[in-house]
Amino acid sequence: MVVMSTRGKIEISTELLRTLHRIHRQLTDLRSQIARGPRQIQAGETMVAKADADRQAAHDKLQKAKIASDEKQLQLQSRELNIEELKVKLNVAASNREFALLKEQIAADEQASSVLSDEILEGLERMDLLEKSLADAQEELERQQTEQAQRVSDVQQKLKTLHSERERVEAELEVSEQQIPAVIKSEYKRIAAAKGEDALAPTEADSCGGCNQTLTTQVMSTLHLSQLVRCPNCNAFLYLPEDRRVR
C-alpha cells in the first residue's frame, strides 16, 4: 500500500481541495446537461419522423381504397351497359325461348350489379373513415413539428446559457488550480483530465468517499494536518468534508 504522504509531506489547503471538487462536480453536471440537449432534439426528431410515417401510411391506405373504388365503379358501368344491350336484344327476341333466356340473363346481371353497388357504397363509407384518419394524422404531424420547433429553440437557448455557465466555471477552476502546489500540479492535472470529478474524494466516516476504501488512522491524521493524501485504492486526492474540522 503506497500512501504518498509518507514519501514527502505536501501541504495543501483542505479548503482548496473542497473548492476544486465542488467545481469539478459542477462541470460534470454542466457537461451532462449540455449532452442532454442534442439527445432531446434527436428524440423529438424521432417523434416527428414517426408522425410523418403514420401520415404517409394513412395517405397510402386512402389512395388504395380510392383505386379499388374506381375499379368497381368502372365494373358497374360496364355491367350496366351490358344490361342495356341485353334489354335491346330482348325487345327484338326472335323466339319465346330466346326471350326467356335473355330475361334470365338480365335478372342475374342486375343482381350482380346490385351486389357491386352495395360494395361501392361500403367502400365510400370506408373512404370517409380513411379521410378522417388522414386528417388526424396530418394534424398530429403538424403538432409534432410545431413542438419540435419549440423544443429546438428551447434547447438552443438552454445550451447557450449552459455553455456560458461552463466557461465561467472553467475559468473559476483555472483560478483555483493556480493554488495547487507546483510539485503535484502536473500529477493532479493528469488525474483530473482522466477522471474528472473522481480525481478528488471527501472522506466519509474514515472511508474514501469515492471508492469506499477504509482509510487508516495514519491517513486520517495526515489529512487533519492539511497534508496531501491520495486514496490507496482509487488514487483520488482525499480531503476532509465541510463538517470535519481541520486541526
Subset of residues 197 to 236 that bind Zn ion, contact rule: CB under 5 A: 208, 210-211, 213, 231, 233-234, 236
* CB closer to Zn ion, 61 vs 195: 195
Subset of residues 102 to 161 that bind Zn ion, contact rule: CB under 5 A: none
Shortest distance, position 199 Cβ to Zn ion, whole Å: 11
* CB closer to Zn ion, 51 vs 238: 238
* CB closer to Zn ion, 106 vs 236: 236
Shortest distance, position 215 Cβ to Zn ion, whole Å: 8
Shortest distance, position 237 Cβ to Zn ion, whole Å: 10
117-124, long-range: CB < 8 A, 24+ apart: 117/76, 119/72, 120/69, 120/72, 120/73, 120/76, 123/65, 123/68, 123/69, 123/72, 124/69
Roughly what angle, to the nearest 10 degrees, separates helices 96-177 and 182-195? 170
Roughly what angle, to the nearest 10 degrees, separates helices 14-91 and 96-177? 170
State how far the alpha carbon of 130 is from the alpha carbons of 52, 53, 59, 141, 166, in Å: 16, 15, 8, 16, 52
* CB closer to Zn ion, 158 vs 195: 195
| H-type alpha helices, the chain | 4-7, 14-91, 96-177, 182-195, 217-224
Shortest distance, position 232 Cβ to Zn ion, whole Å: 8
* CB closer to Zn ion, 37 vs 210: 210
Total residues at the site for Zn ion (CB under 5 A)? 8
The alpha carbons of the chain give a radius of gyration, in whole angstroms, of 41
Give me the amino acid identity at 91. N
Shortest distance, position 163 Cβ to Zn ion, whole Å: 32
* CB closer to Zn ion, 44 vs 210: 210
Shortest distance, position 228 Cβ to Zn ion, whole Å: 14
Pairing of the two strands 237-239 and 200-204? parallel
* CB closer to Zn ion, 137 vs 231: 231
Give dist(CA 3, CA 243) in Å, integer.
24
Distant-in-sequence, close-in-space partners of 54: CB < 8 Å, separation ≥ 6: 137, 140, 141
Angle among Cα 171, 173, 175 to the nearest 5 degrees reads 75
Is 169 a residue that touches Zn ion (CB under 5 A)? no
Shortest distance, position 8 Cβ to Zn ion, whole Å: 21
Contact residues toward Zn ion (CB under 5 A) are: 208, 210-211, 213, 231, 233-234, 236
